[in-house]
Amino acid sequence: MYLKDYLFFIAAILVCLVFSGWASAKVHSAYAAFSEEKTRSNMTGYDTAVRLLRANGVTDISVGRISGRLSDHYHPTKKTVNLSTSTYGDNSVAAVAVAAHEIGHVMQNKRGYLPYKIRTALVPVANFGSFLAMPLVLIGVLLDAFLLAGSDSRLGFTFALIGVAFYGAATLFQLVTLPVEFNASKRARKMLVEEGVLTEEESVGAKRVLDAAALTYVAGLATSLVYFLRFFVWVLTIFGRRRR
C-alpha cells in the first residue's frame, strides 16, 4: 500500500509539473502576442496605473519601476505599485493589463475585500508554517520513539500533526489567492474600459493575458495540495507502522 501511495504521489506531481509548464508557456505566449498590440489610447503601463489610481481617489500610493519581466507587484506596507521594466514604459495591451491588475489589488486593499484581507493575514503564518513544518514532524517522530516504549502517550503524534497543520497553512494561502487574483483581474478589465485606457475590443486581449496569468495560480494550488496530502499521508503511515 505504501509503494502504491508513493507511485500515485509521483504521478500526481508529474501531472502538476506538466500543468505548471503549460500554464507558464500560455502566460508568456499571451503576453508576447499582446505586447505587439499597441493601445489606441497610447497609454503606457505607468500612465495606466496613475490614471486608475486618480480615478478611484487613491492619492497615497506611488508607482515605481523595478527590473525584470512580469515581476510587477503591489506592496501594501510600502504603499507602492512596482511595475517591471517590460510594463512601466510600454503602451501595449499586455502592459496596461498587467498594470491595471496591480491597481486591482490596491482597490481590494482600500475597499476591504475579504479574501484579500484573509490572504494578507495568512502571509506570515504560511511563511512561518512552511519553515517549522518538517522540524515539528521530526520532533514528533523522536518523541514517539522515546515515549511509546514507556506509555501510550500521543504527544509525538500531536507534534507531527501540528507540523502538518503548519504546512497546510501554505496550501490554504494558495487557495485564498485564487479568488484574490481572479477578482483583481475582473476589476482591472472593468477599470480599463471605464477609464478609456482600452476599448471593448482591446479588452478582449487584456482578458486573455490576465486569464493566462491566473492559470499559474491554479497550478500552484494543485501542486501545493498534492504535497500537503502526501505529507499528511506520510505522517499517518509512519505513526501507523510504529504502533503496530
Q: Which residues are catalytic?
A: 102
Q: Parallel, antiparallel, or unpaired for β 62-66 and 80-84? A: parallel
Q: Is the dihedral of CA 21, 25, 31, 32 positive or negative?
A: positive
C-alpha cell at 133: 513544518
HEC sequence for 143-204: HHHHHCCCCCCCHHHHHHHHHHHHHHHHHHHHHHHHHHHHHHHHHHHHHHHHCCCCCHHHHH
Q: What angle do CA 162, 14, 209 make, to 5 degrees?
A: 95
Which own/partner contact pairs does 199-206 have at CB distance under 8 Å and 24+ positions apart? Answer: 199/40, 202/37, 202/39, 202/40, 202/93, 205/33, 205/34, 205/37, 205/93, 205/94, 205/97, 206/34, 206/93, 206/94, 206/96, 206/97, 206/100
Using CA atoms, how far apart are residues 78 and 93, in angstroms rounded to an integer? 27
